Structure 1
Amino acid sequence: MTAVDTLDIMLPHYGDTGLLQAAVRSVLDQTDKDWRLTVVDDGKEEGVPEWFASLGDSRVRYLRNEQNLGITKNFRKCVDLVESSHFTMLGSDDILLPDYVATIRRTVAAVPDAAIYQPGVQVIDENGAPSTTLIDEVKRRLYAPKATSRQVLSGEPLAANLLSGNWLYFPSICWRADIVKEISFREDLSVIQDLALIIEIIRRGEKLVVEPTAAFQYRRHSASLSSGEAVSGARFGEARRFFLDVADQLDRHGWPKAARAARRHLSMRLHALSMVPGALRRRRSGTIRTLLGYALSTSQR
């Protein structure tokens, strides 16, 4: 990314208007002003178009879908609207720290031939306070690289690592636009489409850069789509189908270690097991059976 490039920040929205406004304000507060924000609203909340119009900032583009597209189709629409060489798909409940754009532009300039850039992330709760969850501790301790300086990762070791436990934070990532436009998000996936895209990018020989500088706040709260589907157990059926399918693809690609990691998908199994106490408290017997069946299954097909 050269000094003249503008970072496209794409924001697919559906949900809480207050959190959306906080996310937008975090973009407006960037120290590096060379960005363009596109919000694609998949909801119908009153007053939102008027609020965006009141900002009076030519770098902010607001679009509202005539009909609800759903999460994956809205992601795909955002990708189609990207105009710059690099972009971020910001979650509408997440926050950019003030130096996010500056950090990303500096990192891309240092490693211009990569396709995925992961900055340092802070996890916050519904109220914006620092949060420590089991999921994030497992990511940090078991799977994420112990990066105190910038690292460049690629190939089968990276794919195997991510398929064992996905330690990336999707809304914080900066993507190279050309490769994402070529692949885009799979329409048959709703909660694991980010990992599917990442693995395909890696399979094609592209690089991932880890930049440890904290630049992003990722919000974990029970109202998120992924959390809701995890509580019901729905996400794990989709996950199992993805892992088994991608294992076959990686075997054909000549990456047996990554294929084995996909078939085991240990982190996702442990995640399902961790949801059982919540299902017990809610007395959801069907969900309990689904979660245990997924977590304890020995089938590799």
Structure 2
Amino acid sequence: MLSIPSVSVCVPVYNGERFLAETMRSILDQTYRDFELVVLDNGSTDQSGRIARSFGDPRIRVERNRETLPQAENWNRVVELTRGPLVKIVCADDLLHPRCLELQVAPMDSDPGLAVVAARRHMIDEQSRVIVPRRGLSGLVGVHTGVEVARRVVRSGSNPIGESNNVLFRRDDFFTVGGWKTDRPNVMDIDLWLRLLQLGDFLGLPETLAAFRIASDSISSHSDDELYTQQRMLIEEIGESPYFQVRGIDLAVGRVLAPAGRARRRALYALSKVASRGKAA
């Protein structure tokens, strides 16, 4: 019988052959070794499955969906496939720093009151060059309650915590709060973090332990309008939550700053496209 790993790192992939090998190598090169790597091929038509199975590492488990699922449903399924008590989701084009698991698992193991541990991350282009360093967690380094984090999220008008690759959470908590929501695909990460933070505290690490790729063909690059709309709706929803006790001033600031966050996001994608064109030339 296989022993239960301390951590499950999940890579949901759909036609991700371009970056998948680099992503998997960054996970396998972790200084923390007690983890499983679950790759869920969401009905890819490219070489993603073959690439995932080409690694001769016993910690890897490759599964495949019979049909392609919507993103949230696919991500829920990959967590269902995990065996470890701690879970991290890494998109098939993102990267982890070698010490990511080492520095995130230790505080989760030592403090059962923590529900979410996050770190800063670099924004990288299609050639894995850093275009914006050390992004995220403004005002959120250290231990914070869910109420404190919610107020910071609302005031930012965006997602100051970050995406799934720089976050570690508890498997049991994930199922307690209902997993990824299928009706808000563009903000399903920050939506989940806030629901998890109703079960415990948040720890923001000052280190930069992941990299989020700004690619011209990524889902995020084609859904800016939907993302902005869903983000504004989520901020209003948090503001009305009796649990998070968000103040009127927090909502007012968030409403003002939301367009600026949208402009920064658009600038990132524009910068990545310029860098990619320069490489091609």
Task: Give the TM-score band, short-chain normalised.
Answer: 0.7 to 0.9
* Alignment of 1:195 onto 2:187: no
Partner residue, 1:76: 76
Partner residue, 1:111: 111
- CA deviations over 1:187-233 (Å, ceiling 9, x no partner): 1111101111122222x251011122332222223322122101xx2
Q: Select the residue among 229, 240, 243 that pairs with 2:235.
A: 243
Q: Select the residue among 259, 264, 267 that pairs with 1:269.
A: 259
Equivalent residue of 1:104, what SS? helix
TM-score, normalized by length of structure 1?
A: 0.77
- Asked whether the 8 Å contact 2:236–2:251 carries over to 1, the reply is no
Partner residue, 2:172: 178
Q: Select the residue among 199, 202, 210 that pairs with 1:208.
A: 202
Partner residue, 1:39: 39
- Asked whether the 8 Å contact 1:126–1:221 carries over to 2, the reply is yes
* Alignment of 1:169 onto 2:159: no
- Asked whether the 8 Å contact 1:246–1:262 carries over to 2, the reply is no
- d(CA) in 2 for partners of 1:192, 1:229: 11
Partner residue, 1:160: 151
Q: Which moved more, 1:264-273 or 1:112-121?
A: 264-273
Equivalent residue of 2:153, what SS? helix
Equivalent residue of 1:101, what SS? helix
Task: Provide structure 2 residue ranges, at least 5 long, that are not aligned to the other structure.
Answer: 269-281
Structure 1 pair 277/162, CA: closer, same or farther in 2 (3 Å)? Answer: closer
Q: CA deviation at 1:52?
A: 2.8
Look at both structures and tell me which one has the larger radius of gyration over its CA atoms.
Answer: 1
Structure 1 pair 123/274, CA: closer, same or farther in 2 (3 Å)? Answer: closer
Q: CA deviation at 1:20?
A: 1.1
Partner residue, 1:290: none
Partner residue, 2:279: none
- d(CA) in 2 for partners of 1:206, 1:180: 12
Equivalent residue of 1:181, what SS? helix
Q: CA deviation at 1:128?
A: 0.8
Q: CA deviation at 1:7?
A: 1.1
RMSD: 2.7
Q: CA deviation at 1:93?
A: 0.8
- Asked whether the 8 Å contact 2:125–2:131 carries over to 1, the reply is yes
- CA deviations over 1:100-139 (Å, ceiling 9, x no partner): 2222222323433201011242222211111128xx76x5
- d(CA) in 2 for partners of 1:152, 1:262: 25
- d(CA) in 1 for partners of 2:153, 2:13: 27
Equivalent residue of 1:26, what SS? helix
Structure 1 pair 94/258, CA: closer, same or farther in 2 (3 Å)? Answer: farther
Q: CA deviation at 1:265?
A: 4.0
- Asked whether the 8 Å contact 2:146–2:202 carries over to 1, the reply is no
Partner residue, 1:292: none
- d(CA) in 2 for partners of 1:14, 1:273: 28
More helix by share: 1
TM-score, normalized by length of structure 2?
A: 0.82
Structure 1 pair 49/269, CA: closer, same or farther in 2 (3 Å)? Answer: same
Partner residue, 1:90: 90
Amino acid at match of 1:76: N
Structure 1 pair 159/275, CA: closer, same or farther in 2 (3 Å)? Answer: closer
- d(CA) in 1 for partners of 2:206, 2:48: 35
- d(CA) in 2 for partners of 1:198, 1:259: 22
Amino acid at match of 1:154: T
- d(CA) in 2 for partners of 1:179, 1:259: 31
- d(CA) in 1 for partners of 2:62, 2:200: 32
- d(CA) in 1 for partners of 2:266, 2:153: 24
- d(CA) in 2 for partners of 1:270, 1:241: 16
- d(CA) in 2 for partners of 1:30, 1:50: 22
Q: CA deviation at 1:260?
A: 4.6
Percent identity, please: 20
- Asked whether the 8 Å contact 1:9–1:35 carries over to 2, the reply is yes
- d(CA) in 2 for partners of 1:31, 1:18: 25
